Amino acid sequence: MGITYYNQERVLKLDTRSASYLIGIVDEENFVGHIYFGKKIDDFDLQYLLRIKEAPFVPSKNNGDRLSFYDSFPWEFPTHGIGDFREACMAVETNLGHSAVKLGYVSHKIYKGKPKLKGLPATFGSEEECTTLELLCIDDALEFEVTLIYTVFEDIDAVVRSALIKNAGDKVCYLTKALSLCLDMDDKAFDMISLHGSWGRERHIQRQAVGYGKKVISSLRGEPGHQDHPFFALAGKNSTQDTGEVYGFHFVYSGNFMAGVEKNQFDNIRAIMGINPCDFKWKMEKDSYFQTPEAVLVYSCDGIGGMTRQFHDLYRKHLIRSIYKDKKRPVLMNNWEATYFEFDTDKLLSIAKEAAKAGMEMLVMDDGWFGNRNSDDCALGDWTVNEKKIKGGLKYLADEVNKLGLKFGIWFEPEMISPDSDLYRRHPEWAIAITGRTAGLARNQYVLDITRKEVRDYVYEQISSILKSADIEYVKWDMNRPLCDMGSGALPADRQGEMYHRYVLGLYELQERLINDFPYLLLENCSGGGARFDPGMLYYSPQIWCSDDTDAIERLVIQEGTAMVYPLSVMGAHVSDCPNHSAGRITPFETRGYVAMAGTFGYELDITKISEEEKQMIPEQIALYHKYHDLIRTGDYYRIASYSENHAFDCWQIVSKDKGESLITYVQVLNRANCRSRQICLKGLSPDKKYKLSTSEKVYFGSTLMYAGILINNPWGDFKGGLIHITESIS
Ligand code: GLA
């Protein structure tokens, strides 16, 4: 395992537990080519796969013809403008107005461990856990150095990549495109799987065949957005949850992105991923660097589920940093859907009292506690407590909540400014806008220009003084609109193209400061629900609010898509009131609990108003959460049935790493007349172990449960669900 250089063959071989990734250096020009990524192999002398003697006819071929070679060669980091006409990873604008880049290998180093990426979130690992390759390439004419950085994690079939770009010459030059990843290979009749949606409908799964041309997913919203997600997978046509080859691509970044796949004239596939080059132009002065964000590449020969479990393990072990990463999260009560803006100290305490009685562990005060904020049309930026509502002040409220035995948490939307706010009246220039043009409002608010240090410092001071003023142990960091009208009064004209990325760097700096200064804090990121649910944010917060849609049935689809790449421990999920505020649907209280338990688990309803019968169920649900959540947080995730595919029945299973315990959750969405029980085959158990089911007195071998399956009685009615707990039986 690890990384080896074969000097004579000029091949670099990166090995993980069950995958290999091979890079070849070819020709007198020292081009860096991609030889292979897939199931582990033992040989390294595979340069023949680069087909360097096989330049195709396009439409000519003679001795001096290099273009057909460039346009068909599998590049590790293709560059723009030299005759490879596919989507490139890098392009520039020189002082003479040229855009081409041509890279050749110079040297490399291999070392144990992994470097931090300056100012950016990234996976991490110790010297025992990972090995890094740095491949230095140079463009002599441009005088640019590009270091391709690869890290392999030895216990996970993942390769993470980024590029560090340096202007080593004297002339100022602009970077107009700097992607993070390219993977060139022959088409294996791939399907592309990607995640799409809208507000309240995030990360719905789409699977479609890859054909000629390009399929691109992207964002220009300044955040990944509700609409597209910076993930896709290439899955062999016949691959299923459990079988076949799947390549997963995920971007550790929280801003504009572009990712996708292109099939060319020779049936080669090119997958790319990186910062969206649209509205990106980065000034490179002499000796300046640009670090691209990290992209994660995962390989599975065990179907989509195999890919999912690699991502889960990678993120749980090598991306999330919080002290809560390996801990059960406090069961919280959030007041948003309970009260919206209509609350005061008394109301919150009456909710807290009932929440405490029912066994909850934290009260979170959502939007509306500051400035004149009684609706969503004012006060963002005025982070002072509204003592008309929070009578007695914040410390009093937090103390009273603590006296009830609950922790206390609070909501902020630090990146925003309302036109109707004291902050805007003092600093209109702090709102992002183009001089001479009225910026567009969204949710009645503008975005603060956090590319400016003085703005970041101001916002940070506001948040930290609130956090120091009372016993606050949780923060929900929200962000409720996309970015547009990009203009910063603090940047010169030739750096305005840096603004989107500088914004994201500013955000990362703010969150880094926050978690360093308040290390005990449980931070939950949020963006109008799940518009900024990405691996970048996970580096700062161990959980992210999944969606504003809390309807248990809609959540089945959202959480299935989210769990395809993210561990359940990070998905913010609450039990809310019915009829549901987003979908108007009425679902059984139990089912709402089962679905929320596949996430961080909490409540978001007015507990003082729900029926006595529902109130009685809360302690039982919380007991289930305590019983199962270690397993849910740490176990392997298997998808048994998908409601989004079959429109009737959803089922997922968690298996402990030692295969001694498992939990199955199912929801029957629609019942049918004259319907028999359902047979499901379990997954991930040990065939030779004996197991006892919570629904039966008998003991069965894992092989029986997995291959012959079990029956689930057809529940009477719609939206009914259940749990089946399985434990290893020693007898
Ligand atoms: C966003 C969040 C909600 C809530 C509101 C408050 O929509 O996703 O959970 O916090 O803002 O305004």
The predicted pLDDT at position 57 comes to 72
The Cα-based distances of 358 to 361, 720, 724 in angstroms read: 9, 23, 24
In this structure, which long-range contacts are made by residues 484-487, counting pairs with CB atoms below 8 Å and at least 24 apart in sequence? Answer: 484/221, 484/222, 484/439, 484/440, 485/432, 485/433, 485/434, 485/437, 485/439, 485/440, 486/222, 486/279, 486/432, 486/434, 487/432, 487/433, 487/434, 487/435, 487/437
Helix/strand/coil for 348 = helix
Check if the beta carbon of residue 385 is closer than 8 Å to that of residue 365: no
For 2-318, which CATH superfamily applies? alpha-galactosidase from lactobacil brevis (2.70.98.60)
CATH number of 640-728: 2.60.40.1180
The predicted pLDDT at position 68 comes to 83
Ligand 1 pocket check for 121: Cβ under 6 Å? no
| Nearest CA owner, ligand 1 atom 11 | 528
**Residue 584 half-sphere exposure toward CB, CA atoms < 13 A:** 0
Q: Is 485 exposed, middle or buried (0-12, 13-18, 19+ CB in 10 A)?
A: middle
The predicted pLDDT at position 552 comes to 98
- What value, to the nearest 5°, has the Cα angle with vertex 254 and ends 553 and 565? 45
Q: Which residues contact 450 (CB under 8 A, 6 or more apart)?
A: 415, 456, 459, 503, 506, 507, 510
Q: Which residues contact 58 (CB under 8 A, 6 or more apart)?
A: 67, 68, 71, 265
pLDDT tens digits along 282-322:
999 999 999 999 999 999 999 999 999 999 999 999 999 99
Q: Which of 111, 42, 98, 49 is nearest to 74 (CA)?
A: 49
Which atom of ligand 1 is closest in space to residue 411's alpha carbon? 10
For 332-414+454-633, which CATH superfamily applies? Aldolase class I (3.20.20.70)
The predicted pLDDT at position 69 comes to 85
What residue ranges of the chain are covered by domains with CATH 2.60.40.1180? 640-728
Tokens describing residue 655: 């298996």
Q: How far apart are CA 548 and CA 202, in angstroms?
A: 9
Check if the beta carbon of residue 104 is closer than 8 Å to that of residue 73: no
- 403, amino acid identity: K
- How would you classify the pairing of strands 11-15 and 2-6? antiparallel
Q: How far does the centroid of ligand 1 lie from the alpha carbon of residue 60, in Å?
A: 60
The pTM assigned to this predicted structure is 0.97
Report, as residue numbers or ranges, the catalytic residues: 478, 548
The predicted pLDDT at position 675 comes to 87
Q: Which of 444, 405, 404, 450 is nearest to 427 (CA)?
A: 450
Q: Is 519 exposed, middle or buried (0-12, 13-18, 19+ CB in 10 A)?
A: exposed
| Nearest CA owner, ligand 1 atom 2 | 528
Check if the beta carbon of residue 492 is closer than 8 Å to that of residue 248: no
- 306, amino acid identity: G
Which residues of the chain fall short of a pLDDT of 70?
Answer: 1, 58-64
Pocket mutation for ligand 1, best pick of 366, 377, 476, 550 (most atoms within 8 Å of C-beta): 366
Ligand 1 pocket check for 480: Cβ under 6 Å? yes
Q: How far does the centroid of ligand 1 lie from the alpha carbon of residue 98, in Å?
A: 46
Ligand 1 pocket check for 241: Cβ under 6 Å? no
The predicted pLDDT at position 53 comes to 81
The predicted pLDDT at position 15 comes to 97
Q: How far does the centroid of ligand 1 lie from the alpha carbon of residue 199, in Å?
A: 11
What residue ranges of the chain are covered by domains with CATH 2.70.98.60? 2-318
The predicted pLDDT at position 154 comes to 81
Ligand 1 pocket check for 602: Cβ under 6 Å? no
Ligand 1 pocket check for 548: Cβ under 6 Å? yes
What residue ranges of the chain are covered by domains with CATH 3.20.20.70? 332-414+454-633
